[in-house]
Amino acid sequence: MKQLLQISAVLIALFMPAQSQAQMSIKFRGSDGWGLGSRYEQMYNNYSLQSYYGTISKIDTVIPSNDMSYGICFSLKTSNEEFVVHLGPAWFVLHQDMNLSIGNKVEVRGAKVSINSKPTIMAAEVRYKDRVLILRDQDGYPYWCAWRKQ
């Protein structure tokens, strides 16, 4: 019995520090290149927001640059142009309750930029019927970036 207690005490002593250390810190995965300090995010200009009206002609994935994970985009066909509309990182966008399909007539509010020499809209919000997908706050910060300066 005494030997069993000693073995139990040794096992508790061995595993206790590892468990308490694991609870003292968390390793975050990061934003996969979609964070506030990224080159991609620095292209967004909240002062150049415009509304674009058109029809979704294609829904796809996109990797805006080599240091980023993939995101979700769609092609927006307006009366006289076609744009690629970037919604955001797939790990964020795919968890939103939305139903966008090819052929939907939508309004996109966003900043027009050029990515890989293609006219691209970095969306702040997408409106479809009576629903709105809000991707950025009024200051232009994306909702997938929750860790911010005060």
pLDDT at 1 over 70: no
Alpha helices by DSSP H, the chain: 2-22, 39-42, 90-93
Nearest CA among 104, 103, 102 for reference residue 131: 104
β pairing state of 118-128 and 82-89: parallel
Q: Which fold does the domain 39-134 belong to in CATH?
A: OB fold (Dihydrolipoamide Acetyltransferase, E2P) (2.40.50)
β pairing state of 71-77 and 49-62: antiparallel
Give 127 or 97, the one with higher predicted confidence.
127
CB atoms within 10 A of CB 121: 23
Residue 84, CA distances (Å) to 76, 81, 113, 120, 146 in order? 6, 10, 10, 5, 25
pLDDT at 7 over 90: no
- Alpha-carbon distance of 123 to 140, in angstroms, equals 10
60-86 average pLDDT score: 95
pTM to 2 decimal places: 0.79
Sign (positive or negative) of CA dihedral 25, 31, 33, 34: negative
DSSP state of 48: G
pLDDT of residue 24: 65
Q: Which has the minimum average pLDDT: 30-39, 84-93, 126-135?
A: 30-39
pLDDT at 8 over 90: no
Q: How far apart are the first and last CA of the chain?
A: 58
pLDDT, tens digit, for every residue of 43-59?
Answer: 999 999 999 999 999 99
